[in-house]
Amino acid sequence: MDIAVIGSNMVDLITYIDRMPNAGETLEAPAFEIGCGGKGANQAVAAAKLGASVMMVTCVGDDVFADNTVRNLQQAGVDTRHVKKVTGVSSGVAPIFVDSASQNRILIVKGANDRLLPADIERAAPALQACRLMILQLEIPLETVYAAIDFARRQRIAVILNPAPASRELDIAYACQCDFFIPNETELEILTGMPVDSEENILRAGRTLLEKGLRNLIVTLGQRGALWLTGDRVEHVASLPVKAVDTSGAGDAFIGCFAHEYVRHGEVLQAMRQASAYAAYSVTGKGTQRSYPDASQFLDFITAQQQGK
């Protein structure tokens, strides 16, 4: 196995809106879509669609969504032997609102994802030991994230920690044990309590994390690409100019593709370039996972971009 994702799955309930209703107001919205999401599952599916061998450790509830979630992971080629079904709780769901400027607002109801425990990592240990890279996010209990990082360190498995959604409770000492720490601007702002309204301020905020011992900080910047800070080095990778339809899950697309590329060749900048392009492709389509291209669709997209089409 190349990659293990220990994290969440959610059912995305996406409503396209002209504006949010006010309290007490009923408002008609133009469209609705249901899709498979969750930051962990999104990242796993992106990497698997690109050809990585990926396993996922995650929990589903005992409702109508559970089987569909497992089937969806399998269809993308993700190994689901360590997906746990929890009785008496709902699957994770995410009501998402996408406005006419293609900006999204996401609510998450963790449901079964809150039942992913350190013991589940122990149970999956024989399979996890054979992985080269582990990806973690924050839609599962923090104690499970910490147990996974401890496990990966003992087994010398590289770790990507995506601190999403942002949590002030995250212990930076654990982040420092990871090979890559990949927040977006909002998450960086919340983690550091510092402004991120200019590139200069982003660098300033980022440096405070490096001073605490972070090895590689990659800040995703949406349509402005991504920044990589390591030691005294700063690198910026631009994104591709595309017409955005729905930016939901673009950060997950970046991380899934980055992980796949990094496992393949170990070149951080090259992996960031591919990941930015993969995320750009994803914003051109509605939904989260369903807008992720497979390897051949992605290659066509890159080729067309290079030819200036």
Q: What is the binding site for ligand RIB (CB under 6 A)?
A: 10, 12, 37-39, 42, 94, 106, 108, 139, 248-249, 251-252, 288
Q: How far is the CB of 303 from ligand RIB (least distance, A)?
A: 28
DSSP string over 92-159? PEEEEEE-TT--EEE--B-GGGGG--HHHHHHHHHHHTT-SEEEE-SSS-HHHHHHHHHHHHHHT-EE
106 binds, among ligand RIB, Na ion, none (CB under 5 to 8 A by kind): ligand RIB
By CB atoms closer than 10 A (0-12, 13-18, 19+), residue 308 is exposed
DSSP letter at 184?
B
Q: How far is the CB of 145 from ligand RIB (least distance, A)?
A: 15
CA distance 305 to 309: 6
By CB atoms closer than 10 A (0-12, 13-18, 19+), residue 136 is buried
DSSP letter at 219?
E
The residues carrying an active-site annotation are 252
Q: Which stretch binds Na ion (CB under 5 A): 33-41, 114-122, 213-221, 240-248?
A: 240-248
246 binds, among Na ion, ligand RIB, none (CB under 5 to 8 A by kind): Na ion
Q: Binding site annotation covers 139?
A: yes
CA distance 230 to 101: 34
Q: How far is the CB of 126 from Na ion (least distance, A)?
A: 35
Q: Give how many residues touch Na ion by CB under 5 A.
A: 4
Residue whose CB is less far from ligand RIB, 151 or 225: 225
- Shortest CA distance to 81 belongs to which of 42, 36, 120, 39? 120
CA distance 133 to 152: 9
Q: Binding site annotation covers 35?
A: no
Residues 6+ apart with CB under 8 A from 22: none
Contact between 282 and Na ion by CB under 5 A: the answer reads yes
Q: Binding site annotation covers 252?
A: yes
Residue whose CB is less far from ligand RIB, 38 or 151: 38
Task: Write each residue from 241 to 280 as x if it is in contact with Na ion (CB under 5 A), else as -, in one continuous string.
Answer: -----x----------------------------------
Instruction: Find where tokens 């006010």 sit.
Output: 22
Q: Binding site annotation covers 102?
A: no
Q: How far is the CB of 189 from Na ion (least distance, A)?
A: 23
Residue whose CB is less far from ligand RIB, 208 or 223: 223
CA distance 281 to 49: 14
- Shortest CA distance to 209 belongs to which of 194, 224, 199? 194
Q: Binding site annotation covers 114?
A: no
CA dihedral 83, 179, 184, 207 (to 10 degrees): 160
Which residue in 72, 134, 291, 298 binds Na ion (CB under 5 A)?
291
Q: Binding site annotation covers 110?
A: no
- For ligand RIB, the nearest residue by Cβ is 37
DSSP letter at 224?
G
Q: How far is the CB of 251 from ligand RIB (least distance, A)?
A: 6
Q: Binding site annotation covers 7?
A: no
Which element (helix H / strand E) includes 232? none
108 binds, among Na ion, ligand RIB, none (CB under 5 to 8 A by kind): ligand RIB
42 binds, among Na ion, ligand RIB, none (CB under 5 to 8 A by kind): ligand RIB
Q: Specify binding-site residues.
A: 10-12, 38-42, 139, 184, 220-225, 246, 248, 251-252, 282, 285, 287, 291
Residues near Na ion (CB under 5 A) are 246, 282, 285, 291
